[in-house]
């Protein structure tokens, strides 16, 4: 099977890929600025962006800004390029405590664009004609379910919805229909595996060859990925995306990180404190511009996602940059330790790679205006004695910072059911 969705752009040398991005951005600006009140107020009605320096002069867009705009101009705000009758889909973000969800509209053209972006995700996961893709989630107001369902047709695969079903019914649907690919959250994949074991079903012997996950960083965490792959005897793939932004990334057969779909987006990584670009390969907040959603575009949108980007060529021959560790956490939890930006969520990501860590806590000490970190680890019974040293070593490799790790007795750290709070701030 053709491993690419759009071989010509996926393998473009990077200088040409970057030119393509600037060209598409200018086309987008020419299309939206005359009629989009939100962006013409931010950028003017005649903006030209003919260089990367000019690009970096464009103001950022934040989620709060979009939410505020929709509050002031309900229900859809002013980031609406066309008359409402040209839009054919409405979805919304989940919204967090005390915050209203953002509503997003798509036109026929931008819905087609969503489907194409998903085409990259499927092809990356080796899914194409003859495949039957099962969607094991409730089809709610979030866009991910619907876009994934829609996108399967762009690679000639069959979509099989699994909404409104119990886990055992979903398992039956997987076996009855000879399902070959599964889309769900990493947590739910493990739940399916657990239920299959309980029912005596041989999931590893099913025809599923690929699983595609989003919504949680699990599929890029080696420990979680290994568990899913063992349970399904299938390749486990990660995918990144946001309702308001689009389906932005996928893993290829090499699974050497999440490829960013640079033919449809422009990506940057910034220091969330200074808003300046980070050094190549450094950690920071992912900023993205979507190039194919003219009806409700986002330009230099601060995703809040913490990433590290690798632009070196992938063995799959795609030139799209990669996130070697997927989304590592949230950028807004950053602390400065000995002059270095440190993201506790990135520490969490590294600790989760150790299956023998049953619970952990990251302590942030603040002395005057200086911060220091310490990690407490609760090992599973029978773990090797050097767990703390190995964890500290990997943290040093990954974050280039020495962070002391200490073992604590089993059961001594608090357990969480939902929103875990494993980062503790201390003042002294
Ligand atoms: Zn690749």
What is the whole-number distance in angstroms between the Cα of residue 264 and the centre of ligand 1?
17
What is the whole-number distance in angstroms between the Cα of residue 296 and the centre of ligand 1?
30
What is the whole-number distance in angstroms between the Cα of residue 360 and the centre of ligand 1?
33
What is the whole-number distance in angstroms between the Cα of residue 27 and the centre of ligand 1?
28
pLDDT in tens, 174-231: 999 999 999 998 888 988 998 999 999 999 999 999 999 987 777 887 778 888 999 9
Residue given tokens 């059911």 in the structure block: 417
What is the whole-number distance in angstroms between the Cα of residue 253 and the centre of ligand 1?
7
Question: What is d(CA 426, CA 312) in angstroms, rounded to the nearest whole number?
Answer: 40
Mean pLDDT score, 129-157:
94
User: 147-159: buried (b, 16+ CB within 10 Å) or exposed (e) per residue?
Assistant: bbbbbbebbebbb
Backbone conformation region of residue 133, classed left if phi is above 0, alpha if psi is from -120 to 50, else beta: beta
What is the whole-number distance in angstroms between the Cα of residue 250 and the centre of ligand 1?
9
pLDDT in tens, 314-372: 999 999 999 998 998 888 778 888 888 888 878 888 888 888 888 889 998 887 767 88
What is the whole-number distance in angstroms between the Cα of residue 6 and the centre of ligand 1?
13
pLDDT in tens, 365-406: 887 767 889 999 999 888 888 999 999 999 999 888 899 999
User: For residue 26, with 0-12 CB atoms within 10 Å meaning exposed, 13-18 middle and 19 or more buried, which class applies?
Assistant: middle
What is the whole-number distance in angstroms between the Cα of residue 231 and the centre of ligand 1?
24
What is the whole-number distance in angstroms between the Cα of residue 315 and the centre of ligand 1?
6
What one-character DSSP code corresponds to residue 189? Answer: H
pLDDT in tens, 251-275: 999 989 999 999 999 999 999 989 9
Instruction: Please give the pLDDT value at position 416.
Output: 67
What is the whole-number distance in angstroms between the Cα of residue 155 and the centre of ligand 1?
18
What is the whole-number distance in angstroms between the Cα of residue 106 and the centre of ligand 1?
29
What is the whole-number distance in angstroms between the Cα of residue 314 and the centre of ligand 1?
5
What is the whole-number distance in angstroms between the Cα of residue 140 and the centre of ligand 1?
31
User: 174-208: buried (b, 16+ CB within 10 Å) or exposed (e) per residue?
Assistant: bbeeebbbbbbbbebbbebbebbeeeebebeebeb
What is the whole-number distance in angstroms between the Cα of residue 361 and the centre of ligand 1?
34
What is the whole-number distance in angstroms between the Cα of residue 260 and the centre of ligand 1?
10
């Amino acid at each position: 099977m053709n491993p690419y969705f759009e071989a010509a752009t996926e393998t473009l040398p990077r200088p040409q890929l970057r030119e393509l991005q600037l060209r598409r951005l200018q086309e987008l600006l020419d299309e939206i600025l005359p009629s989009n009140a939100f962006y013409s107020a931010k950028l003017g009605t005649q903006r030209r962006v003919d260089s990367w320096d000019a690009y970096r002069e464009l103001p950022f867009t934040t989620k709060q800004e979009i939410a505020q705009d929709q509050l002031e101009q309900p229900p859809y705000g002013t980031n609406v390029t066309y008359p409402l009758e040209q839009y054919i889909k409405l979805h919304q973000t989940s919204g967090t405590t005390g915050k209203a969800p953002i509503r997003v509209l798509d036109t026929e053209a931008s819905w087609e664009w969503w489907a194409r972006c998903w085409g990259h995700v499927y092809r990356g996961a080796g899914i194409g004609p003859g495949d039957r893709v099962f969607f094991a989630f409730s089809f709610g107001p979030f866009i991910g379910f619907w876009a994934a369902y829609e996108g399967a047709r762009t690679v000639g695969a069959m979509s099989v919805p699994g909404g409104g079903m119990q886990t055992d019914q979903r398992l039956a649907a997987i076996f009855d229909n000879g399902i070959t690919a599964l889309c769900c959250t990493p947590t739910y994949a493990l739940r399916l595996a657990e239920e299959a074991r309980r029912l005596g079903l041989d999931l590893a012997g099913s025809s599923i060859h690929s699983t595609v996950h989003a919504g949680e960083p699990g599929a890029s965490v080696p420990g979680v990925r290994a568990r899913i792959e063992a349970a399904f005897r299938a390749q486990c793939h990660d995918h990144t995306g946001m309702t308001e932004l689009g389906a932005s990334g996928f893993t290829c057969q090499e699974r050497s990180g999440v490829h960013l779909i640079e033919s449809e987006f422009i990506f940057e990584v910034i220091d969330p404190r200074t808003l300046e670009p980070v050094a190549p390969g450094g950690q920071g907040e992912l900023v993205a511009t979507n190039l194919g959603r003219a009806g409700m575009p986002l330009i230099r949108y601060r995703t809040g996602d913490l990433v590290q980007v690798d632009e070196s060529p992938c063995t799959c021959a795609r030139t799209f940059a990669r996130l070697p560790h997927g989304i590592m956490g949230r950028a807004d939890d950053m602390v400065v330790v000995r002059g270095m930006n440190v993201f506790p969520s990135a520490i969490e990501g590294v600790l989760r790679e150790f299956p023998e860590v049953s619970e952990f806590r990251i302590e942030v000490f603040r002395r005057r205006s200086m911060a220091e970190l310490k990690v407490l680890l609760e090992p599973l019974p029978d773990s090797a004695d050097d767990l703390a040293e190995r964890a500290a070593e990997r943290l040093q490799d990954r974050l280039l910072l020495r962070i002391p790790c200490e073992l604590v007795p089993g059961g001594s750290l608090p357990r969480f059911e939902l929103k875990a709070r494993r980062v503790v701030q201390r003042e002294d």
